[in-house]
A = this chain, B = another copy of it.
Amino acid sequence: MNFPSNLFNSHSKEDGDFFLGITKILGFKPKKTEIYRKAFLHRSANKKDKDGNPVNYERLEFLGDSMLGTIISRYIFNEVPLGDEGYLTKMRSKIVSREHLNELGKDLNLIRFVESRIPKTHFGENIHGNVFEALVGAIYLDRGYKYCEKFIQKRVIEPYVDIEQLEGKVISYKSLVIEWCQKQKKTFDFNVYEDTGNDVLKHFAVKLSIDGNVVSKARATSKKKAEERASKRAYFALQEKMKRPSR
């Protein structure tokens, strides 16, 4: 998937694909699409602005990294009302860890939008997190703080952040689900299958059934992650029945 070299002026099919793909990820229509283009411009593409200055996603990454940290800070501040400064800082580092951001960017398959001169297989792992941050920076420039906040809520906090798990109170939702099923003498089944579709990366989907009824579904880049995600969903869906007696 190569973008045309007259990147900022063309209105080709690739442009339409980019616009559609980005809109789906954002959950809203971008206003200034050229900012989002920049968010995926790798320095190897060697793009210049009209004055001959290099253009790539790194400046947006700087902005997005900061934005993301602040929005997550605000979230933790609310969620952990009794945590002191040191504890809040520790929780934030867990959420915005390089590893976590790479996972996020990978799951959204952001790499498919990256324009570069080197083959995508040659990028290191960090490309996923870096373009995710750049995307956050682009949202901020295009639509401001509130949209950034909504995007991070939808794409980071809701699907990935679980304070109980981060605090180590819940190690694995899968084991909670299994334990509960065994106690209740219910059967359970994790039906995992490959579901890569048009994605560049391999993806797995899972359907979790309890007593023969599908209670949740999930999709991720590994079997383990997909199972854990489906279990978490099942846990919250069945929370009233399943939650531990100590709560």
Point out residues on A near B: beta carbons under 8 Å: 53-54, 58-59, 61-63, 66-67, 69-70, 73-74, 77, 82-85, 88-89, 140, 145-146
Contacts and interface: CB of A to CB of B under 8 A. Distances in A.
Contact of A73 (B54, B66, B83): B66
Nearest to A67: B70
Given A59-B83, A59-B84, 6 more contacts: A58-B84, A62-B85, A63-B73, A63-B74, A66-B70, A66-B74
A77 B53 contact: no
Contacts of A77: 59, 62-63
A61 B82 contact: no
28 contacts: A53-B82, A54-B84, A58-B84, A58-B85, A59-B77, A59-B83, A59-B84, A59-B88, A61-B85, A62-B73, A62-B77, A62-B88, A62-B89, A63-B73, A63-B74, A63-B77, A66-B69, A66-B70, A66-B73, A66-B74, A67-B70, A67-B73, A69-B69, A69-B70, A70-B70, A74-B140, A145-B145, A145-B146
A240 to B, nearest CB: 26
Contacts of A67: 70, 73
